[in-house]
Every structure is written in structure tokens, then in C-alpha cells.
């Protein structure tokens, strides 16, 4: 059964406890860069990176429903898409789906190609200098894993009550919930009904987008006001790779392999013929 996170933006206070918990559990260092001390926002750090897998966005927008300014908080991390563009374009199988629905990666076989970065409609994966058994030292992909090691833990090192993502565990307002996807969809729909206000666009974001994401949002403004694409689409890079470039690449590799095999057999035949002639 696929697991999902449900984020209710209307309950979020922007405390960033989830952001801190993510770093603590995954042992990610601070992500400070020179010149980022004051950028005119409470957000910190500036963006996702190999050291920051979850970031809270703060957005000020005009709110026509109340005639004032709304300060919106939004979770920025991997959406664990049902139809994951990153998986579709990964040439080595380094990106894959866990039985619990999370989109995970095996950095040992990451080629560092960066196709996942280009393909993701949410601009999530980041590359870092690392070590891959496939390529040696080089770039490897990094992103949120939905704390798969906590969720699937079977030892007392993680008590049963804590077998949920660290971000969900630490949320003080209940803005984050975790459970079976069907259950989260139902909770999201009920919350949308509770929040229904004439003139306000309340929606459950992620229920159907990108094949149904395993991180869903309850929004009471337009998705773009939260820094999300209104209608996320798989990029042209992904489509081109799946339809044209990948099949051509496989064909080229096949032809090269066949050519090498024919060349080997021909050389061996000549060698045997030479021996017989003697």
C-alpha cells in the first residue's frame, strides 16, 4: 500500500520544525553560503540543495477574498510522483519506486547525467560531488526519501510510534499527516469541503497531478501563489528521451555490440583458417 504525506497549508505556521527535523534525521549539514545573510525574506536557505532536502517557502500575495495581504507557507521537497519523470529518464535505474510508493535513488549506480534534474516538473533533484560504484568520483543525485529508513524500520532503534517521516513527527500544528494514500486523499477531500469559501480556490493538489503524487497539498489559493506549477507537466526533455533518444541509444548500443561480435567471429575464423593452412 502506497504511503503519502498530506500537507495542509492552512494549518502551517511556518515554524520550519519540519525543515530542521529533516536535517537532523538525515544528518545533513547547515547550508549557509556567503552573501545570504539578508535577502529580504525569512526563508533560509535560499533553495534546495544536496544539503537541504526540505525547505519551507514564504510567499506574500494579494488576497481578494479578504481584501488584504496573505502570507502563505509552502513545503518544497520531492513530491514522489505517481508518474515520476525522474524515474522515466534515468538511464541506469538509479531512481526507482519503493513498494511504499516513495521515489528513491541508489547513488551507487547514479551516472551523474542530471537528466532527473532537467525532467522534474517541480525542480527538486540536486546533484552533489560524491562517489558512485558506476562512475567513481563525480556527481550523484540527492533528494528527499520520505524517511524510508524510519517508515520501514523493524527494530527498536525506531519505536513504532516514530515510524513516520521526521517532518511529520515534529509538526506541532498537525499541518503534516502521514498514512495510506487512500486515507490521505479522503482526509484531504474532507478538509477541502470544510474550507470551501465562495471566491476562494480551495483544492487538493496532487490527487491527480503527475499520476497522483505521494505528497499532497491542501491549498486555499492558486497553486502558483505557493510556488507550485498550476498544471505540472512532464518536460519535453523527458518526452524526447522516452520516445526517441533512449530507443535510439539502445539501438546504437545493440548495433555496436553486434558489430563487435561479428568482428570477433571473423577474426577468430581467419586465425583458425591460418592455423589449418599451416
Does residue 190 sit in the same domain as residue 270?
no
Does residue 68 sit in the same domain as residue 85?
yes
Does residue 211 sit in the same domain as residue 263?
no
Whether the pLDDT of residue 228 is over 60: the answer is: yes
Does residue 219 sit in the same domain as residue 246?
no
Averaged pLDDT for residues 101-114: 93
Over the stretch 148-200, which tens digit does the pLDDT of each residue have?
999 999 999 899 999 999 999 999 999 999 999 999 999 999 999 999 877 77
Whether the pLDDT of residue 54 is over 80: the answer is: yes
Q: Band of the pLDDT at 236, cuts 50, 70, 90?
A: low
Residue 117 neighbours by CB distance under 10 Å: 18
Final residue belonging to a domain, choices 234, 251, 269: 234
Does residue 135 sit in the same domain as residue 269?
no
Over the stretch 124-140, which tens digit does the pLDDT of each residue have?
999 988 777 777 777 88
Residue 22 neighbours by CB distance under 10 Å: 22
For 18, 29, 33, 45, the CA distances from 37, given in Å and listed in that order, are: 21, 17, 8, 9
Q: Which residues pair with 178 in a beta bridge?
A: 5
Residues 215 and 7: beta-carbon distance below 8 Å: yes
Does residue 223 sit in the same domain as residue 246?
no
Peptide bond into 78 cis (omega under 30): no
3-state secondary structure the chain: CCEEEEEECCCCCCCCHHHHHHHHHHCCCCCCCCCCCCCCCCCCCCCCECCECCEEEEEEEEECCCCEEEEEEEEECCCCCCCCHHHHHCCCCCEEECCCCCEEECHHHCCCCCHHHHHCCCCCCEEEEEEECCCEEEEEEECCCCCHHHHCCCCCCCCHHHCCCHHHHHCCCCCEEEEEHHHHHHHHHHHHHHHCCCCCCCEEECCCHHHCCCEEEEECCCHHHHCCCCCCCCCHHHHHHHHHHHHHHHHHHHHHHHHHHHHHHHHHHHHHHHHHHC
pLDDT, position 253: 47
How many distinct structural domains can be found in the chain?
A: 2
Residues 22 and 166: beta-carbon distance below 8 Å: yes
Averaged pLDDT for residues 31-50: 78
pLDDT, position 148: 97
Q: Which three cell numbers stand for residue 84?
A: 515520476
Percentage of the chain beyond pLDDT 70 is 80
Averaged pLDDT for residues 38-52: 84
Question: Could you give the count of Cα atoms lying within 13 Å of 242 in the half-sphere of its Cβ?
Answer: 14
Does residue 165 sit in the same domain as residue 273?
no
CATH number of domain containing 214:
3.30.70.20
User: Residue 254's domain spans which residues?
Assistant: 235-278
Does residue 216 sit in the same domain as residue 273?
no
Q: Mean pLDDT over all residues of the chain?
A: 86
Averaged pLDDT for residues 98-124: 94
For 50, 76, 227, the CA distances from 143, given in Å and listed in that order, are: 7, 11, 18
Does residue 249 sit in the same domain as residue 221?
no
pLDDT, position 254: 58
Averaged pLDDT for residues 91-99: 95
Does residue 159 sit in the same domain as residue 176?
yes
Answer left, alpha or beta for residue 206, where phi above 0 means left and psi between -120 and 50 means alpha: left
- CA pair distance 231, 113, nearest whole angstrom: 26
pTM of the model: 0.82
Whether the pLDDT of residue 15 is over 90: the answer is: yes
Over the stretch 213-226, which tens digit does the pLDDT of each residue have?
999 999 999 999 99
Tally of residues, the chain: 278
Averaged pLDDT for residues 141-146: 95
Nearest-Å Rg of the Cα atoms of the chain is 24
Q: Band of the pLDDT at 46, cuts 50, 70, 90?
A: confident
Q: Which three cell numbers stand for residue 28?
A: 545533513
pLDDT, position 214: 98
Does residue 243 sit in the same domain as residue 211?
no
Does residue 7 sit in the same domain as residue 75?
yes
Answer left, alpha or beta for residue 123, where phi above 0 means left and psi between -120 and 50 means alpha: left
Amino acid at each position: 500500500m502506497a504511503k503519502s504525506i498530506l500537507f495542509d497549508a492552512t494549518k502551517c505556521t511556518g515554524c520550519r520544525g519540519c525543515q530542521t527535523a529533516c536535517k537532523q534525521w538525515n544528518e545533513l549539514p547547515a547550508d549557509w553560503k556567503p552573501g545570504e545573510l539578508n535577502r529580504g525574506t525569512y526563508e533560509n536557505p535560499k533553495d534546495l540543495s544536496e544539503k537541504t532536502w526540505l525547505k519551507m517557502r514564504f510567499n506574500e500575495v494579494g488576497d481578494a477574498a479578504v481584501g488584504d495581504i496573505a502570507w502563505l507557507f509552502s513545503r518544497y521537497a520531492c513530491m514522489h510522483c505517481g508518474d515520476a519523470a525522474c524515474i522515466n529518464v534515468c538511464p541506469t535505474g538509479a531512481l526507482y519506486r519503493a513498494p511504499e510508493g516513495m521515489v528513491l535513488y541508489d547513488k551507487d549506480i547514479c551516472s551523474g547525467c542530471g537528466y532527473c534534474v532537467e525532467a522534474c516538473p517541480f525542480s527538486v533533484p540536486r546533484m552533489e560531488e560524491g562517489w558512485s560504484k558506476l562512475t567513481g568520483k563525480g556527481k550523484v543525485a540527492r533528494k528527499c526519501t520520505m524517511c524510508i529508513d524510519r517508515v520501514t524500520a523493524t527494530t527498536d532503534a525506531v519505536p513504532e510510534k516514530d515510524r513516520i517521516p521526521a517532518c511529520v513527527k515534529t509538526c506541532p500544528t498537525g499541518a503534516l499527516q502521514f498514512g495510506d494514500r487512500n486515507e490521505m486523499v479522503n482526509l484531504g477531500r474532507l478538509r477541502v469541503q470544510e474550507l470551501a469559501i465562495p471566491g476562494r480556490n480551495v483544492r487538493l493538489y496532487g490527487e491527480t497531478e503527475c499520476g497522483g503524487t505521494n505528497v499532497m497539498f491542501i491549498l486555499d489559493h492558486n497553486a502558483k501563489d505557493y510556488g507550485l506549477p498550476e498544471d505540472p507537466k512532464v518536460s519535453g526533455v523527458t518526452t524526447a528521451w522516452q520516445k526517441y533518444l533512449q530507443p535510439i541509444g539502445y539501438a546504437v548500443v545493440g548495433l555496436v555490440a553486434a558489430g563487435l561480435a561479428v568482428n570477433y567471429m571473423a577474426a577468430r575464423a581467419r586465425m583458425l583458417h591460418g592455423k589449418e593452412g599451416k
